[in-house]
Amino acid sequence: MASEIEFDHQVCSNVADATTREWLDTNGIGGFASSTIIGLNTRRYHGLLVAATKPPVGRLVLLSKLEETLILDSERFDLGANQYAGAVDPHGYVYLESFRLKPFPQFTYRVAGIQIEKSLFLVRGQNTVVICYQFSGNFEGRKCSLEVRPLIAFRDYHNTTHANDAINRQVEERPGVATVKPYADLPSLHFTHNADALDASCFWFYNFDYERERERGLDYQEDLYSPFLLHFDAGKTACPTVVASIDEHSAAEVDTLKTREVDRRKKIVAAAPVNDDFARLLTSAADQFIVARGEQKSVIAGYPWFGDWGRDTMISLPGLTLVTGRYDDARSILRGFAANVDRGMLPNRFPDAGEAPEYNTVDATLWLFHAVFEFLRYTRDYEFVRTELYQPLVEILAWHERGTRYGIGLDSDGLLHAGVPGVQLTWMDAKVGDWVVTPRMGKPVEIQALWYNALRVMERLAAGFADHDQAAHYGALAERAHSRFQTAFWNEDAGCLYDVLSDNGPDRSIRPNQIFAVSLPHPILEQHLALRVLDVVEWELLTPYGLRTLSPRDPNYHGRFGGDPHTRDAAYHQGTVWPWLLGPFLTAYVKVHSDSQEARHRADQFLDALRAHLWQAGLGQISEVFDGDPPHQPGGCIAQAWSVAEILRTYVEDAMGRKPSF
């Protein structure tokens, strides 16, 4: 495995292959840039500047792309590529010698003996993209110039834009800067440049097709507007530069911005927990999800379309921040989410438009206790937990004992009940209109495992903080849950655990949620039964890319994740593979096999398919989901936080055996 992702001309010149490979660059406040390796946008989310106007949300596609044309004497060579109905035009990919991520996207074109290297990166903490071109080759006796025409969208990143007369066509020109403000209620976009000429001719470009959106059953056509054309004479400007930003910059800043960003990314990779290419690539990937929310840090659940979600953040925290040694980020994330606890519940998500957080989740809150426990395993920072987290954690359990929203509360048998009709509360949360695909009302198996784990964590914390009455109380609650769980959930016929205990009886569906009864630090299931659960999960659900969400033998199984929103949501948790589940599976596997060297070696082998996947779909990233059926095509988001986090964590802790003792 190479630590740098690179594709040669053979891949780049194959449109069908090249457009399945997407790059991503992020800015640490929720904004990003993304496209395919040939610059052909296949999603409405693709763009060179998708700005987070209410960090880390409020995202707008401002700059969709740049159309570049190399002019040698009087001959024009278009370097771009766009999909229209039934055709790709122009064919700039035929000149693309290579694409690489080193450390950010770099495109090398070769035309008639002239080489043009294009690189781009986002500036950390700003809605700013820097695009640089560098010429080399034999210019003797030839006139060489580059035309760059921006195409802008200026719309919410979930939508598309279409030609209209409301757009403000005015371009404010100053030396080295061109500013546009197409709509009064959206920000200005400043183009800082070192062009020798600006042509203010403006046009609408029509009917771009976005193939991935068409496949997803969504609006897939868009018109884009070009406000001007920049002209660079290679004889005068060897390194043409364009900086697009909602803030003003000068061309003189570019070298400093680039050096600073290169150095920052080198430090991130240098801190990889294992000195090999897999760990370095995953560590770099992990960095892209950690973002600022006000004064604190948060986690983007997935690119290109998710915001920061409580459940995803808590599950991802160990892999993104603890394994990678980013302890201050972990403190900030825990502090920020603890401050948003309401009625004993962690927010499920912060909406895109910046409204009040939503609290429709039962498991996000319980994952907080696991995140705190893992934080202590790595840092031993009991003082931070005592002063900033302990009291919110006490209040959370008190709310769960007496009952909170959506029927979440402790039942008389010592297990946790959750659910009301029409609301999805667990991570299996797909909903189509009023149809909750997997309602799981009652007592879901992983909720009991998380509840028991939370009680044992709090028992330990209370004892350590000399809160002895609370420690005894939590210990008693844990014993009640433990004694009831095994008899209530064990399905002897299947040799595994029921998925949910409901008023209508136990749900016998074989799903991956039972693995948490084994994998969590305080397992609720006895060892001899844990082995049987692991065998069933491995036999029924394990694939090279993660665990299926439902056994293929189940009549409700869907082996393909694709189609329109209804079809996709119907399959989301009915057989679709989730790579993040490979993390708890491998933790459980190594645990029940006594942390043996053989078990660790096999755990490492289980990760081989995901090693190769880093060169597919979202480059250097791990996708949200895969088809349940072979060949297990990737789907969903091209970069998912808990996919990266759990694979990195399990690789370091379980396969490599580098988990801190506690």
Residues 239 and 275 in one domain: no
Q: Are 53 and 187 in contact (CB under 8 A)?
A: yes
CATH code assigned at 277? 1.50.10.10
Range of the domain at 209: 5-263
Does 662 fall in a domain? no
Q: Are residues 246 and 280 in the same domain?
A: no
**Mean pLDDT of the 626-638 span:** 98
Taking the CA atoms of 612, 613, 618 and 621 in sequence, report the sign of the dihedral they define. negative
Q: What is the mean pLDDT of residues 456-466?
A: 98
Single out the residue in 263, 280, 295 at which a domain terminates: 263
Q: pLDDT at residue 1 above 60?
A: no
Residues 6+ apart with CB under 8 A from 405: 343, 345, 359, 360
pLDDT tens for each residue of 61-85: 999 999 999 999 989 999 999 999 9
pLDDT score recorded for residue 353:
64
Q: What is the pLDDT of residues 204-250, one digit of tens each?
A: 999 999 999 999 999 999 999 999 999 999 888 879 999 999 999 98
Name the pTM for this structure.
Answer: 0.97
- Taking the C-alpha atoms of residue 411 and residue 431, their distance in angstroms, rounded to an integer, is 26
- Residues 251 and 283 grouped into a single domain: no
Residues 6+ apart with CB under 8 A from 410: 400, 401, 402, 403, 416, 417, 477
With CA atoms as reference, report the closest residue to 427 among 553, 299, 572, 547: 572
Per-residue pLDDT, 430 = 86
CA-based nearest residue to 647, from 583, 598, 555: 583
Average pLDDT over residues 174-189: 97
Between the alpha carbon of residue 398 and those of residues 159, 458, 474, 521, 611, the distances in Å are 43, 12, 10, 22, 43
Shared domain for 186 and 289, answered yes or no, is no
- DSSP code string of 553-615: TSTT------SSHHHHHHHTTTT-EEGGGHHHHHHHHHHHTTT-HHHHHHHHHHTHHHHHHTT
**Residue pair 440/500 in contact by the 8 Å Cβ criterion:** yes
The answer to whether 440 and 507 are in contact (CB under 8 A) is: yes
Cβ distance 527 to 545 under 8 Å?
Answer: no
Q: What is the pLDDT of residue 236?
A: 85
Please name the residues in contact with 169: beta carbons below 8 A apart, sequence gap of 6 or more: 202, 227
Please choose, from the candidates 192, 169, 304, the residue with its C-alpha nearest in 3D space to the C-alpha of residue 246: 192
Q: Mark which of 263, 288, 315 sits at the end of a domain.
A: 263
Q: How confident is the model at residue 9 (pLDDT cuts 50, 70, 90)?
A: very high
- The number of distinct structural domains making up the chain is 2
Dihedral in degrees, nearest 10, Cα atoms 607, 612, 618, 621: 40
pLDDT bin (cut points 50, 70, 90) of residue 103 is confident
Q: Please, which residues have CB within 8 angstroms of residue 468's CB and are 6 or more apart in sequence?
A: 462
Side chain identity at residue 151, one-letter code: L
Backbone angles phi, psi at 381, to 5 degrees: -85, 75
Alpha-carbon Rg for the chain, nearest whole angstrom, is: 26
pLDDT tens per residue across span 30-56: 999 999 999 999 999 999 999 999 999
Asked if residue 180 belongs to a domain, the reply is yes
Same domain, 337 and 384: yes
